Structure 1
Amino acid sequence: MNHIVLGYDGSDFSVQALDWALDEAELRKLPLTLTHAWQWPYGQAEEEAKAHLRKAAEHVLWHGAECARATSSGVPVETDLYEGPAAQRLVELSSGAALVVVGSRGLSALPRAVVGSVAGYVAAHAECPVIVVRGAGPLPASANPGPIVVAEKGPDASIMEFALDEAAMRQVPLATTEDVTAWAARHPEVRILPGDDHDAATLVVVGRRRAARAGAANFLLQHAPCPVAVVTEGRSDR
């Protein structure tokens, strides 16, 4: 778990996800891997036709990597070009990643029934935490960023550790309706706020079991006003 993985397809949604992934890489002092998946969508094809599509995919990935290198403060950036479904590749790469970041639209290869998108599928099946960044275009800079919100009843240690780490790295409070005294002692610098209001949050954190089901987590992934982190319960993601 020594790098951040970003699903990148050149869309406005993946540009916003790139901003978030670079922040994570800088805060965690980890390299960033941009992955772009492509596949011929029309059945059998001549190799020449597929070569043109691959060349276009290479350009999308190159452009994303160049943008990342130009806007970061020295984050090492690697690339991964994959022929096949985007969701499959992101789940594969999650096994060796500290974090996967993906936009809330774009990377369209799955029916919307699967929590709405590739992002939803990856959030439900990845082996590391996943942050789904909602919206299109560059992330707006906030002079007064909101708290990290734990939207989970009875969260376990892995969820709380992730949320507290994010709050500590970003120097923002943590908001929850739960008693987190035992976990908060590990991060005395993080201010704990009562409540779980999502409207002003910097990031909402939920457990993967909840995200794998329809209902509240499905709504969060599609409608939350901020990025949503999905964390596996019952394991440490450090």
Structure 2
Amino acid sequence: MTDTRDVVVGYDGSDFSMQALEWAMDEAELRKLPLAVTHTWRWPYGEADDEAKLHLRKAAEHVLYHGADCARARSTITSVTADLHEGAAGDRLVELSARAELVVVGSRGMGTLARTVLGSVAGYVAAHASCPVVVVRGPGPIPVSRHHGAVVLGMAGDTADEVIEFAFHEADIRRLDLVAVQARRLQPAAWSAPMPLVPDTEAVARGAEDDLTRRLEPWQGRYPAVPVQARSVAEPAKSLLPDLSRQASLMVVGGARGHGKVGPVARSLLQRGMCPVAVVPAPPQAH
């Protein structure tokens, strides 16, 4: 019996799930962890005899084993398992997340519907999983452009340590820079003088970046090989982070504190991001 956690990837044979499989293979190799490839199926046509369902199951097995065989043939991962499940894909991925280091799922790109409605599986898993979820976004289809942009960490005042740790670890194993970005708003001040003074925006930005740098210091000590840049930007996070995703290798944001909800910043990235997006759950706050 082993307590080793694995990297789980949802695979359905599409180009988008192949992109997710490639990302998951990288994660498993870099983290030296087993890889679990999962595929779900269910009969969609109401009542049917067992023979008809068996044909659909056999087709699902073919899809799953193709994905698992690709992972074995194209990686150095020592353990690749194939998981076939009858039921909803989102439910199965959330179930597997309880014992996973990471769950990886594909997203169907930048169509109008994707911009308006968060993908049912990706959004559900990001909102409910017990471990970090990487949604592999991009214009699709494969091959994916393998540029080496930074890992971008979206910071807020209440960003959990688990989110920061995940971003540093990803930057470290991928040998990338880390850019920690905090969006801020300039609050209007009440002045007694007839002509209000204009705030020194550069001084405000420097002060915010100094505060952010101090917040990151413990992790810089643990990951000395990771070059870190701290930025404070006077722009709403929901528009800032999707723009930064155009040049990033990975965007990292926190999930909601507790399960069942994706916050507005994470939702914006999952809808509009141009690179893979990691949503890292934070432990529920103690009451």
TM value normalised by structure 1: 0.89
Larger Rg: 2
Aligned with residue 34 of structure 1, among 33, 37, 40: 37
Q: Which amino acid in the other structure matches residue 17 of structure 1?
A: A
Task: Say which is worse superposed, 22-31 or 44-53, in terms of deviation.
Answer: 44-53
Q: Does 1:54 align with 2:57?
A: yes
Task: Say which is worse superposed, 188-197 or 42-51, in terms of deviation.
Answer: 188-197
Q: Does 1:184 align with 2:188?
A: no
1:12-27 equivalences under 5 Å are 12-27=15-30
Aligned with residue 202 of structure 1, among 249, 272, 283: 249
Q: Which amino acid in the other structure matches residue 276 of structure 2?
A: P
Once the two structures are TM-superposed, the CA of residue 44 in structure 1 deviates from its matched residue by 1.1
Aligned with residue 266 of structure 2, among 217, 225, 230: 217
Separation of aligned partners in 1, 2:20 and 2:253: 18
Aligned with residue 174 of structure 1, among 165, 178, 181: 178
Q: Is the 8 A contact 1:8 1:61 kept in 2?
A: yes
3-state secondary structure, aligned to 1:209: strand
Q: Is the 8 A contact 2:154 2:180 kept in 1?
A: yes
Q: Which amino acid in the other structure matches residue 278 of structure 2?
A: A
Once the two structures are TM-superposed, the CA of residue 198 in structure 1 deviates from its matched residue by 2.4
Task: Say which is worse superposed, 117-126 or 66-75, in terms of deviation.
Answer: 66-75
Task: Say which is worse superposed, 172-181 or 3-12, in terms of deviation.
Answer: 172-181
Residues 13-56 of structure 1: per-residue CA shift (max 9 Å, x gap): 00000110000000000010000000001111111111110000
Separation of aligned partners in 1, 2:34 and 2:265: 33
Q: Which amino acid in the other structure matches residue 126 of structure 1?
A: A
Residue ranges of structure 1 left out of the alignment (5+ in a row): 107-111
Aligned with residue 102 of structure 1, among 99, 102, 105: 105
Once the two structures are TM-superposed, the CA of residue 113 in structure 1 deviates from its matched residue by 8.4
Q: Does 1:11 align with 2:14?
A: yes
Separation of aligned partners in 2, 1:148 and 1:224: 13
TM value normalised by structure 2: 0.75
Residues 200-222 of structure 1: per-residue CA shift (max 9 Å, x gap): 11100011118934633222112
1:40-119 equivalences under 5 Å are 40-105=43-108, 115-119=118-122
Q: Is the 8 A contact 2:254 2:281 kept in 1?
A: yes
Separation of aligned partners in 1, 2:48 and 2:173: 48
3-state secondary structure, aligned to 2:8: strand
- Count of matched residue pairs: 229
Q: Does 1:158 align with 2:162?
A: yes
Query: What's the counterpart of residue 109 of structure 1?
Result: none
Residues 96-130 of structure 1: per-residue CA shift (max 9 Å, x gap): 00000000139xxxxx9873320110011000100
Query: What's the counterpart of residue 141 of structure 1?
Result: 146
